[in-house]
Amino acid sequence: MKKLFDWVMRRRAASLTARLRGVLEQSRRVADIGSGSGHNARCWRATVGIEVDEFDVANLNWVGEGPTLWDGARLPSVSAAYDAATLLFVLQYSADPINLLQEVRRICSGRVLVVQATYRGTPGKLCLALREFCWGRLAFHAARLARVIRSQPCPLVPRRYFTREALRRTFDRAGFRVLSWEPEEWPGLNISRDLFVLEATCPIPTSRSSSRLETKSAG
């Protein structure tokens, strides 16, 4: 079972890396926010050759050293520490997506890569809810039973679902412009895994008072 899960996650990481590679290759230091199992960061280090710091609100890691844990409010990093950041299927879980994006804007001086599932209409929303259940709670409990992650409350419970238009409004309110957009439609389901490349419209002033990688998970 563990080998099967690892194969699925490695395939998923390779697919995501192929979509993000153009921006990742231009970066030196990347913040992976909502790093999950750690497969994405491991793939980027091995195939793109960049430095990656992982952040998450829960320790779902089973490859690599694990993430720096944070409270979901303020990222434990100095301002402008990274020249790229990633948010891959993360915003639906955040209590305050605008605050999260503004924190990313604070710590990242360059491009922000967001991959987010969006829906169109009521049928699309129902399909997206089913997808989130399968890739979220169901996958979490299966991984916990297989003992690839530690026993803990499930953090993968969506707080919202986004239409493409609502997501763009969220970016705008957080102080970002969309430089490029790439849909990946699921045929016939009215949902898409959209890739947005973002740039801050007005950088947040840097501060020397923020902490840097203070809390590492126990592994």
pLDDT given at position 25: 96
Average pLDDT estimate for 173-183 = 97
- If one counts every other C-beta atom within 10 angstroms of the C-beta of residue 34, the result is 22
Joined together, the tokens standing for residue 72 give 């979901």
Orientation angle between helical segments 39-47 and 2-24, nearest 10 degrees: 50
Q: What pTM was estimated for this model as a whole?
A: 0.90
DSSP string, the chain: -HHHHHHHHHHHHHHHHHHHHHHHTT-SEEEEET-TTSHHHHHHHHHT--EEEEEESS----SSS-PEE--SSS-SS-TT-EEEEEEES-GGG-S-HHHHHHHHHHHEEEEEEEEEEEE-HHHHHHHHHHHHHIIIIIHHHHHHHTTSS---------S--EEHHHHHHHHHHTTEEEEEEE--EETTTTEEEEEEEEEESSPPPP-S-S--S--B---
pLDDT given at position 213: 46
The amino acid at residue 61 is N
When pLDDT is cut at 50, 70 and 90, the band that residue 205 belongs to is low
Rounded to 5 degrees, φ, ψ at 138 are -65, -45
When pLDDT is cut at 50, 70 and 90, the band that residue 219 belongs to is very low
Inform me whether the pLDDT recorded for 5 exceeds 90: no
Tell me the per-residue pLDDT of 103-153, one tens digit each, with 9 for 90 and over. 999 999 999 999 999 999 999 999 999 999 998 999 999 988 888 888 899
2-200 adopts what CATH topology?
Answer: Rossmann fold (3.40.50)
Tell me the per-residue pLDDT of 49-86, one tens digit each, with 9 for 90 and over. 999 999 999 999 999 889 999 999 999 999 999 999 99
pLDDT given at position 102: 96
More confident call, 29 vs 212: 29
